[in-house]
Structure 1
Amino acid sequence: MAGKKWAELSKPVQVGLVVLGGAEAALKVCSLIDLARRPAGRVRGPKALWALGLMTVNSLGAVPLIYLTKGRR
């Protein structure tokens, strides 16, 4: 089954996708800034692994939220 093209989506769906994409991007940026500024001793797990996950996984904001709630000491 092929997905719809952008122009075939209704305006509310387009707006919703843009808003959700922007929210995920903002969460990722905030998480990466926090990770860069936080000393390694105050992060649960390796900072490099968190950074890799934050930059590569598209998770509808789940990975940044997990980092912000569980990944910091």
Structure 2
Amino acid sequence: MTKKMTWNEMSPSQQTGVLVTGSIQLALAATAWIDLAKRPAERVNGPKALWAAIIGINFVGPIAWFIWGRRR
């Protein structure tokens, strides 16, 4: 089993990568949750509560929302 690196053991470029990736994830999730909250239930494929939980799954959830969750 590999040892997990601590923040201080990462190089500056690795730290930047973690921060950029985390920022993208948070922005995607926030945008998807806002869109879900503003969208009427009849324009959502499935229950809104289920989609709210799915959006919380890293990268996959928000992308799934934008591809399959919304009715046009």
Alignment TM-score, normalising by the size of structure 1: 0.89
Question: What is the RMSD computed on CA atoms of the aligned residues?
Answer: 1.0
Alpha-carbon distance in structure 2 between the residues aligned to 1:72 and 1:51: 12
How many residue pairs end up in the alignment? 70
**Counterpart residue type for residue 18 of structure 2:** L
Indicate the percent of aligned positions where both proteins have the same amino acid. 41
Corresponding residue for 2:23? 22
Higher relative contact order (CA 8 A, sep 6+): 1
Q: How does 1:12-51 map to 2 (within 5 A)?
A: 12-51=13-52
Structure 1 residues 8-64: Cα deviation after superposition (integer angstroms, max 9, x where no partner): 011111101100000000000000000000011111111000112223x2x2x1210
Structure 2: runs of 5+ lacking an equivalent? none
Alpha-carbon distance in structure 2 between the residues aligned to 1:30 and 1:11: 28
Which runs of structure 1 show a deviation greater than 3 angstroms over 4 or more consecutive aligned residues?
Answer: none
Structure 1: runs of 5+ lacking an equivalent? none
**Counterpart residue type for residue 48 of structure 2:** K
Return the match for 1:71 from 63, 69, 72. 69
